[in-house]
Chains A and B, each alone.
Chain A
Amino acid sequence: MPNLNRIKAIAEKEVFHILRDSRTLTIIFIMPLLQLIIFGYAMNMEIRQVPLVVDDSALNSSSRALVDAFIHTDYFRLVPKSEGILNPGELFKERRAQATLSIPKGFGKESLTVLLGIDASDPNSAQMIQNYATGIVNTRFAQAGAGINLQPLILYNPDMKSSFFFVPGLIALILVMICALLTSISISREKEMGTMEQILVSPVSATEILLGKVIPYIFLGLMDALLILAVGMLLFQVPFRGEFIVFLGFTFLYVLTSLCLGLLVSTMAKTQQGAMMMALGMTLLPTLLLSGYMFPITSMPVILQKITYIIPARYYLQIIRGIMLKGNNVRHLYQSGLSLLIMSVTMLVIASRRFKLRLS
């Protein structure tokens, strides 16, 4: 049976280390903020103020209403048209415009067709521009359209702001990285410094060492989560529609899973350097690519879909997006939470089995 006092002794000692070591504190508090700010501003996928050249040959009330509808949004900015026939290709080549709108004579009377030219050298932006334009036309002029009239109902993020997407994702990414790093480094440092040899010659058990190491970092992990959440909400105006206590509970599970991943890493790495590389390798790319953060899981090949089941962030992303954007409560999230709990217990058991109480 693990002895509570020994676990407490190890946890307490770990707190002394953390308080004395400014490097650990830097990793814990400065790194997430930097990542949030860098990722946050760099990963902005929205497009604003697209330069638009309009060639209005109709010059009637309908055409003016259409042009007004375009330029009264934040998405488009009117660039004056030069003399002569509008040539989208030339304009795009000179980077004077990213989109063109040609309105033929008799628009609103004989015809309702207009031509939208889009520079698709960046396909993502092109897609966005097309979506914006369709949106504008559909909302303002739907009644005039013929055939099927598709009325989109966009919930939770009607403006499709990308910050709503990356801030929850970053909380998931940063937490797993930092937490896995913390525990794996803390244990491999004891191996490297020789202090592990000293504490092994005592009645301490593997489980006691591992639990004593995890407990202080749970608090740090949760503090980190709150910090990222607060800064994310302040800087990027992300909503928080769920209940705070639900967030705290499920984030606790995710932090625990990530810390246990770090413990598992520490049983494989001999040096701090090795532990660091392994912890980053096992968290950064898998979380970015396979958790459903960047790319939807359903569009992955079957084999990759199977792999996503062992990525903790897969579950936490559902949880955090659910809580922040949809206001989910425990009833909606317990399955993901359970998966995290099972993962952390499994990893803790494997780690304490693998943890060697002898030198080799």
Chain B
Amino acid sequence: MNAAEAQDLSVFYGSTEALKKVNLEVPEAMVYGIIGPDGAGKTTLMRSLCTLLPYSAGSIRVLDYDALTESAQIRARIGYMPQRFSLYQDLSVEQNLRFFAKLFKVSKKEMIAQREKLYGFSRLKPFAKRLAGNLSGGMKQKLALSCALIHTPKLIILDEPTFGVDPVSRVEFWQILHELKQEGVSIIVSTPYMDEAVQCDQITLLHKGSVIGQGSPNEIIARWQGKLYKLKGDNLQELYKYLQSKVDKADLQLFGSEIHLYSKDELHAELIDTWKHEFPSLSSWEEIQPGMEDVFLKMMQ
């Protein structure tokens, strides 16, 4: 059984098609990533999987229940963390946890056991009496995750859980996800960050409502064909402009401290020497292995 699957899923907002024939299979006990830039349709997909959105065509099964006709069964068995912080800001950490436990009919004994375990993960125990609205961004996300886990769901669906969270808290958050996976929880997580994409077991790359790639991060990177070069220079902006006159703009990616240049075939050293001659600030170049971001940017074209 898959934790979740979608077949030819299409969702319309009025006349705009937010998801176009999306196919998806999420195996159990995996961290499954939905990767894409803003506006790719990640939230629409996550909400559809949570049975929150009526979809126009196709089908969704979650934990072997149909999302249209058996939404009540699904909702009782999954945990969901919306993109926006959606807990009660004027309730304390403990009150939020207790409220969600009661919504899911968790017995008091189980609730206390699960809560202590979640405090272990999240280290929120010292803040139990603090109002959710007064927590830091990272703590808020950990509380939201805890509320989604209070009824020990088989599957949790997290929509951009690390949005607006500082880097240290992000790392910590992902550690918690990996620990949960060890316990057999299936996790579907969406993110626009490529460094998080590579931490997933499997991913779906989403762009403008369509799937542009699926598989494990390594598989996807391994499918890369062609060469990739890293170029550095004193004045990157100028260098970027210069290179645009030499090669196809689509093959160039400007990063913070370097430029990546894609080429179908190997570049001859003489060619680059000519560039160096014409544009002396081009200081170094070398062939590199593509990363997730390079692959994704290439696939988006």
Give chain A's interface residues, CB within 8 Å of chain B: 3, 5-6, 8-10, 12-13, 16-17, 20-21, 193-195, 197-204, 357-360
Contacts and interface: CB of A to CB of B under 8 A. Distances in A.
B88 interface: yes
Contacts of A5: 102, 105
Given A200-B52, A203-B75, A13 B91 contact: yes
B84 interface: yes
Contact of B86 (A3, A195, A204, A357): A195
Given A358-B53, A359-B53, 10 more contacts: A8-B102, A16-B95, A194-B82, A201-B50, A201-B51, A201-B79, A203-B76, A203-B104, A203-B105, A204-B103
Contacts of A360: 53-54
A326 to B, nearest CB: 45
B75 A6 contact: no
Most buried by A among B53, B88, B100: B88
A201 B90 contact: no
A8 B108 CA distance: 14
A79 to B, nearest CB: 62
Interface residues of B, number: 30
Contact of B90 (A10, A16, A359): A16
Contacts of B86: 193-195, 197-198
Nearest to B159: A197
- Summarize A's interface: helix, strand, loop or mixed: helix
A358 B54 contact: yes
Nearest to B96: A13
A357 B68 CA distance: 12
B53 A202 contact: no
Nearest to B90: A20
A152 to B, nearest CB: 59
A17 B46 CA distance: 29
B88 A195 contact: yes
Contacts of B51: 201, 358
A202 B100 CA distance: 9
Interface in B69-102: 71-72, 75-76, 78-80, 82, 84-91, 95, 99-100, 102
Contact of B87 (A6, A16, A195): A195
B47 interface: yes
B90 A197 contact: no
